[in-house]
Amino acid sequence: MVAQSDIELVRTDPDLPPVGVVERGPTTPSRKVVLVVVAVVGAVAWSVLALVRGEHVNAVWFVFAAVCTYVIAYRFYARLVEAKIARPRDARATPAEQLDNAKDFMPTDRRVLYGHHFAAIAGAGPLVGPVLAAQMGYLPGTVWIIVGCVLGGAVQDYLVLALSVRRRGRSVGQMARDELGRVGGVAALIAVFVIMIILIAVLALVVVNALAQSPWGVFSLAMTIPIALFMGVYLRVLRPGRVSEVTLIGVGLLLLAIVAGGWVAETGWGQDWFTLSPVALAWWLAAYGFAASVLPVWLLLAPRDYLSTFMKVGTIVLLAVGILVARPEVQAPAVSQFALRGDGPVFAGALFPFLFITIACGALSGFHSLIASGTTPKMLQKESQAKLIGYGGMMMESFVAVMALVTAVVIDQHLYFAINAPAGATGGTAETAAAYVNGLGLSGTPITAGEIQQAAAAVGEESVVSRTGGAPTLALGMSQVLSSVLGGSGLAAFWYHFAIMFEALFILTTVDAGTRVARFMLSDSLGNLPGPARRFRDPSWRVGAWVCALVVVVLWGAILLMGVTDPLGGINTLFPLFGIANQLLAAVALTVVTVVVVKKRLYRWVWIPALPLVWDLAVTMTASYQKVFSAEPRIGYWAQHRAFQDARAAGEQSFGVAKTPAEMDAVIRNTAVQGTLSIVFAGLVLVVVAAALVVVVRSVRAGGMPTTEEPDEPSRLFAPSGMIPTAAEREVQAQWDARAGDRVGSGAGT
């Protein structure tokens, strides 16, 4: 047992039990043994992944390598970050306690908040990126997802949360303005806005690619709208507050919609109605995004969010169990030829920097900083829980990314490339695709057109050739894993559409919530302008809301349409932009964190946020540079632009994958837009970093600077810090419970 002197009880009021427990004791021998065992298992798993060649690695090793690394990192590195930088003080009331209104500010059980936070940060991103990155083999992606998480992404999420908790839950944009000054702050705000637009557009593109020409998928997804409307009305009119009840009904209906999709897709009218071209789907999505962002939240957004939260947690548990039970064998090589040559068909460019761009969510995702500085800090009970929520929440997302990678590397590699290479390369039919992938020089037996056709038929699809975007590949892999555990080949089609549906569901949730947030950001910014634009500040002014929503939808809708019609393959050209944007947002967040650490004169530990920041800047700036300046048309947007322009000027009627002059014009236009966006993103972030450098120099000269931390307010609330309470924490909890007597407890001790 731990000696009493190693435990410090934090008190703010002599009449109250302690509000915090600080334990500094040495690790108990039994714990040491556990840690050693975990470390050894982890080391073995990593060795298997890194060294085994020539035979198929079992997917279980990925799970072991990941989980063991997380445990060790959480126990040692997260603790270091906590002790040296975050420095939580449980004597201090969190914004949730201080401003508790039982609505948006509400101290929430840490285990429940973990679920909330996870559901808010994880979406389709960690599922899609790793699938695309699988073209480089399984090893580079796995290393980046796990190491990037423990040294980068988790540190960012944790520290942004810790910062925001001390600032009443202010957002990253506001903190940038407070800590970096006006110029840095404005650049950060604009960066957040444009990055949001590109994120929505690319995620929508993933949905379009997954659902185009698939009446089954379109029907199931379309059904989620009436299901959500029904749930909204149920909660509003029939039984307010019965959220889990209506969610269960909704999930039941959702499963029914997936099954019914199979029947509908068999009928003539179903095929007529629900077989949509990519362009038509893009228009429908834009219309949906507009409607969802101006409709009241209770009708569509809130119920959708419930469904999405439930499905997210449920499906991920299902997939983890599936992988552990099915233990599939990996088909991809550890490091593929494309990693070394940088000429892969899924995305172009060398391993550095493009692998690190392609996998953003799951390793280091800037978007998380918007969650860690928005809703989550307003629900945190104690400062010391930020490690569990911020660092721990990111570990879970990283684990999801590892599982997504597993599903992509356990399917046949010829099939993988037939699905993921753009139509310009595969030719779009099973015959041409088979010829194309067999010419790639992959290991293993070549594939026949019949086998590609068979793979599509097995999951109830017309074709799987060039279904880029990651979602169909993941769905195919998931269906392979899950049907081998549950239901056999008879359920393969169900599981495929189940996976497509939940990815599309996550993405639609991001699309509607993102459109709404961007709409508010736009109206806030317009409202700050002088003159009649002031009226935009009034949130109840419907015309303003509609105008802003329309502007936002037009912006992302235009990029989406551009991607859908891109002769070069939209995912191929746009996904790097999405990754770069997300990682640049991470650079903004890490810059803010680093500046605060410098201002507080924690010079010895600046490297903790600076390490991922410098790495992230190296990756994003190299990638941006290559995207803008590379002379190779495959990589550089402007090189491609010039090549097509020259061909057009020479009067050619077709060039490369562009078969007509109109397609050539499309490439010329698209590359100009993409090249411009690359310059804008990188430029904005450089402004933020430059502004930060000025503040850093000033602060070091002045010997530290005040930050915008709010003054202390004594806490009068207790809750354990970690997932499982320690003995001392249980004792303190018992004192609080005894004090509460027959009064209703906080629910924390269930």
Stretch that binds another protein, among 89-97, 371-379, 550-558, 663-671 (CB under 8 A): 371-379
- DSSP tag of 658: B
Instruction: In angstroms, give the least distance from the CB of 361 to another protein.
Output: 6
CA distances from 220 to 128, 301, 331 (A): 20, 18, 31
What angle do the packed helices 60-72 and 393-409 form, to 10 degrees? 160
Closer by beta carbon to another protein, 601 or else 739:
739
How many C-beta atoms surround the C-beta of residue 561 within 10 A? 20
Do residues 21 and 91 touch, judged by C-beta distance below 8 A?
no
Q: Cα(293)–Cα(518) distance, rounded to whole angstroms?
A: 10
Closer by beta carbon to another protein, 553 or else 598:
553
Closest CA to 738 of 26, 730, 194: 730
Quick one: which of 33, 83, 112, 324 contacts another protein (CB under 8 A)? 112
Closer by beta carbon to another protein, 174 or else 308:
308
DSSP H or E run through 8: strand 7-10
Closer by beta carbon to another protein, 65 or else 522:
522
Q: Cα(131)–Cα(354) distance, rounded to whole angstroms?
A: 14
Q: Cα(235)–Cα(298) distance, rounded to whole angstroms?
A: 8
516 binds another protein (CB under 8 A): yes
Stretch that binds another protein, among 131-139, 290-298, 446-454, 481-489 (CB under 8 A): 290-298
- DSSP tag of 9: E
Stretch that binds another protein, among 130-138, 364-372, 448-456, 628-636 (CB under 8 A): 364-372
The SS3 assignment for 406 reads helix
Quick one: which of 209, 358, 510, 572 contacts another protein (CB under 8 A)? 510
Quick one: which of 155, 189, 235, 586 contacts another protein (CB under 8 A)? 235
Stretch that binds another protein, among 6-14, 113-121, 556-564, 631-639 (CB under 8 A): 113-121
Quick one: which of 26, 226, 240, 487 contacts another protein (CB under 8 A)? 240
Closer by beta carbon to another protein, 157 or else 179:
157
What angle do the packed helices 125-133 and 138-148 form, to 10 degrees? 140
Do residues 319 and 546 touch, judged by C-beta distance below 8 A?
no
- Half-sphere exposure (Cβ direction) of 540: Cα atoms closer than 13 Å: 0
DSSP H or E run through 484: helix 471-485
Q: Cα(494)–Cα(221) distance, rounded to whole angstroms?
A: 14
124 binds another protein (CB under 8 A): yes
247 binds another protein (CB under 8 A): yes
Stretch that binds another protein, among 111-119, 260-268, 442-450, 554-562 (CB under 8 A): 111-119
Instruction: In angstroms, give the least distance from the CB of 747 to another protein.
Output: 7
Instruction: In angstroms, give the least distance from the CB of 306 to another protein.
Output: 6
302 binds another protein (CB under 8 A): yes
> Which phi and psi (to 5°) does residue 734 adopt?
-65, -40
Q: Any long-range contacts for 736-744 (C-beta under 8 Å, 24+ apart)?
A: 736/17, 739/16, 739/17
Quick one: which of 20, 95, 123, 557 contacts another protein (CB under 8 A)? 123
109 binds another protein (CB under 8 A): yes
Instruction: In angstroms, give the least distance from the CB of 520 to another protein.
Output: 6
121 binds another protein (CB under 8 A): yes
Quick one: which of 199, 222, 339, 590 contacts another protein (CB under 8 A)? 199
CA distances from 328 to 323, 354, 416, 709 (A): 7, 28, 16, 50
Q: Which residues contact 105 (CB under 8 A, 6 or more apart)?
A: 95, 96, 98, 99, 169, 378, 379
* Burial label, 377 (beta-carbon count in 10 A; 0-12, 13-18, 19+): buried
45 binds another protein (CB under 8 A): no
Stretch that binds another protein, among 130-138, 298-306, 615-623, 687-695 (CB under 8 A): 298-306
244 binds another protein (CB under 8 A): yes
- DSSP tag of 328: P
Closer by beta carbon to another protein, 703 or else 747:
747
Tokens 């057109």 appear where? 449
DSSP H or E run through 266: helix 243-266
How many C-beta atoms surround the C-beta of residue 329 within 10 A? 13
Q: Which of residues 83-102 bind another protein (CB under 8 A)?
A: 100-102
Closer by beta carbon to another protein, 100 or else 632:
100
Stretch that binds another protein, among 62-70, 234-242, 422-430, 472-480 (CB under 8 A): 234-242
Instruction: In angstroms, give the least distance from the CB of 112 to another protein.
Output: 5
Instruction: In angstroms, give the least distance from the CB of 677 to another protein.
Output: 17
104 binds another protein (CB under 8 A): yes
Instruction: In angstroms, give the least distance from the CB of 96 to another protein.
Output: 12
Stretch that binds another protein, among 61-69, 283-291, 367-375, 680-688 (CB under 8 A): 367-375
Quick one: which of 367, 391, 536, 615 contacts another protein (CB under 8 A)? 367
Q: Which residues contact 144 (CB under 8 A, 6 or more apart)?
A: 133, 355, 356, 359, 363
- Looking at this protein, which amino acid is placed at residue 347? F
Closest CA to 524 of 542, 537, 535, 539: 537
CA angle 84, 147, 155 (to 5 degrees): 30
Quick one: which of 166, 170, 368, 627 contacts another protein (CB under 8 A)? 368
370 binds another protein (CB under 8 A): yes
Instruction: In angstroms, give the least distance from the CB of 75 to another protein.
Output: 25
Q: How many residues touch another protein (CB under 8 A)?
A: 61
305 binds another protein (CB under 8 A): yes
Q: Which chain residues interact with another protein by CB under 8 A?
A: 100-104, 106, 109, 111-112, 115-116, 120-125, 196, 199, 203, 235-236, 240-245, 247, 296-298, 301-302, 305-306, 308-310, 313, 360-361, 365, 367-368, 370-371, 374-375, 509-510, 513-514, 516-517, 520, 539, 582, 744, 747, 750
